[in-house]
């Protein structure tokens, strides 16, 4: 990295550090004004944002609008609507003296770093940024250089909406991110892989900075006997194949009874035909491409390894290297020794595993890293309770997928290898706040 960029990063960090005293004293109305300005700029540039994302990963217009734009806008509006309530000190009764009392006061953590991913590059950067602003912080933002056009567009929006002493954005490759991590931030919010999350946490430890790590993992899905396979296929199909499977909470693999697999696969293929195809052929205008050649080759290697060890493609299995398209694919005869069952797939390939007893499924899940999500499709409350009570994951959904992310009244985050901390709604405000305990002695 050139010395000029390094000096610029250091200059902006010092500028924000000096401005933090003023930011921490901002009222709810002042913070809401900043959020409203942020919202106005995003809405004014909506089509430009969509175009930038489409240039990066050929994501369909409808997908970008619903996930990247609406997801961001709804989150900012939620912050604005509830900020007065979130910022208000919370009264606590004293256990020492009935005439004394305690208070919880929410104060900003300080200067924050937000590092965004490439799979939903706009939303998964701007939503935590809005939370940082709501909590009264200053922030520096760095999007992934793998989505270069979106990175440039986001930087334009930030420059238009904020003074650099409040929020600034830096563009560039891994060297820029590395230099940012050298700065003594008060809090670092990172969305990305577990591998890079470990690097971020190591860097944060040098300054004892707190972290929120939104990572990933292999999210299991279970279909119980007797559940409506058509309903399950509609939900799993959209959740797995939207964004070409490049979603951190997408169903990664499926446990389903062997005698139900053919019917489920047929139903899932119908979902693909109606949602992503035209005249029986995958319509690439409706289907996102893989982000880059390295990831395309990684996915192809996982598929080839599975096939070489006995897996069979019920449908799909096509790879178009020239435009990095992996067709929606379902595999059967999958076994745990296959590489596709040992790392997060992050692609539109769904492996199906046989099971006889629910206990075997629970054993399989609990013996592995804790996933970001677990999905259970069942009409039997005892089965639902057993899965929820005996497995651990960042979040879960019953008889649906992905919905737990969209619900702003629930915290979203992982556990251990799938993440640390959570956000969304009030949980995002708290992630960027220090909850200060104050004791008021009786006179």
Q: Which regions of the chain are under pLDDT 50?
A: none
Distance CA 368, CA 376 (A): 18
Q: Are 309 and 337 in contact (CB under 8 A)?
A: yes
112 classed as catalytic: no
> What's the pLDDT score for residue 380?
98
Q: Which of 112, 148, 248, 344 is catalytic?
A: 248
Best CA proximity match to 134, nearest among 186, 70, 187, 80: 80
Sort residue 324 into left (φ over 0), alpha (ψ -120 to 50) or beta: left
- The Cα-based distances of 406 to 120, 201, 237, 425 in angstroms read 14, 26, 17, 10
Residue 369 DSSP label: P
What is this structure's pTM? 0.97
pLDDT confidence of residue 1? 72
Tokens matching residue 369: 């890293």
Angstrom distances, CA of residue 441 to CA of 89, 238, 296, 429: 17, 56, 63, 28
293 is catalytic: no
The pLDDT of residue 217:
94
Range 220-406 has CATH code 1.10.3720.10: no
Among the options 63, 151, 214, 344, which is catalytic?
214
Read off φ and ψ for residue 350, nearest 5 degrees: -115, 110
Q: In the chain, what are the domain boundaries?
A: 3-215+414-440, 220-406
Tell me, what's the pLDDT at 75? Answer: 98
**What's the Cα-to-Cα distance from 24 to each of 27, 57, 137, 338, rounded to whole Å?**
9, 38, 7, 52
- What does DSSP say about strands 373-377 and 349-353: parallel, antiparallel, or unpaired? unpaired
Fold type of domain 3-215+414-440 = Aldehyde Dehydrogenase; Chain A, domain 1 (3.40.605)
pLDDT in tens, 247-291: 999 999 999 999 999 999 999 999 999 999 999 899 999 999 999
pLDDT, residue 443, reads 84
């Amino acid at each position: 990295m050139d010395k000029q960029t390094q000096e610029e990063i250091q200059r902006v960090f010092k500028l924000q550090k000096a401005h933090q005293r003023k930011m921490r004293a901002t009222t709810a109305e002042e913070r809401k004004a900043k959020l409203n300005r942020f919202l106005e700029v995003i809405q004014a540039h909506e089509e430009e944002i969509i175009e930038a994302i489409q240039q990066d990963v050929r994501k369909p217009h409808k997908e970008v609008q619903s996930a990247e734009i609406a997801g961001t806008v709804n989150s900012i509006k939620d912050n604005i609507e509830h900020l007065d309530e979130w910022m208000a000190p919370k009264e606590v009764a004293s256990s020492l003296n009935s005439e004394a009392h305690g208070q919880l006061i929410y104060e900003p953590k300080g200067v924050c770093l937000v590092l965004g991913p490439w799979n939903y590059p706009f939303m998964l950067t701007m939503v935590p940024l809005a939370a940082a602003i709501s909590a009264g912080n200053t922030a520096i933002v760095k999007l992934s250089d793998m989505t270069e056009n979106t990175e440039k567009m986001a930087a334009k929006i930030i420059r238009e909406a904020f003074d650099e002493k409040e929020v600034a954005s830096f563009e560039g490759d891994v060297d820029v991110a590395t230099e940012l991590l050298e700065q003594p931030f008060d809090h670092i919010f990172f969305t990305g892989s577990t591998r890079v999350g470990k690097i971020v946490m190591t860097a944060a430890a040098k300054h004892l900075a707190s972290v929120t790590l939104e990572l990933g993992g292999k999210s299991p899905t279970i279909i119980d006997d007797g559940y409506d396979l058509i309903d399950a296929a509609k939900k799993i199909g959209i959740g797995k194949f939207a964004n070409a499977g490049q979603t951190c909470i997408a169903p990664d693999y499926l446990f389903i009874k062997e005698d139900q697999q053919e019917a489920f696969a047929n139903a899932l293929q119908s979902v693909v035909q109606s949602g992503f195809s035209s005249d029986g052929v995958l319509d690439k205008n409706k289907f996102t491409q893989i982000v880059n050649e390295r990831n395309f080759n990684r996915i192809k290697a996982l598929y080839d390894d599975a096939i070489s060890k006995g897996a069979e493609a019920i449908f799909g299995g096509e790879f178009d290297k020239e435009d990095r398209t992996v067709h929606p694919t379902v595999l059967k005869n999958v076994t745990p020794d296959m590489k596709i069952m040992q790392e997060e797939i992050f692609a539109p390939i769904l492996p199906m595993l046989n099971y006889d007893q629910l206990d075997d499924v629970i054993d399989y899940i609990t013996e592995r890293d804790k996933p970001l999500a677990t999905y259970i499709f069942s009409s039997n409350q005892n089965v639902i309770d057993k899965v929820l009570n005996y497995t651990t994951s960042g979040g879960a959904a019953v008889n649906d997928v992905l919905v737990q992310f969209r619900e702003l009244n629930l915290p979203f985050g992982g556990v251990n290898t799938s993440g640390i901390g959570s956000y969304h709604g009030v949980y995002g405000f708290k992630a960027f706040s220090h909850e200060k305990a104050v004791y008021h002695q009786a006179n």
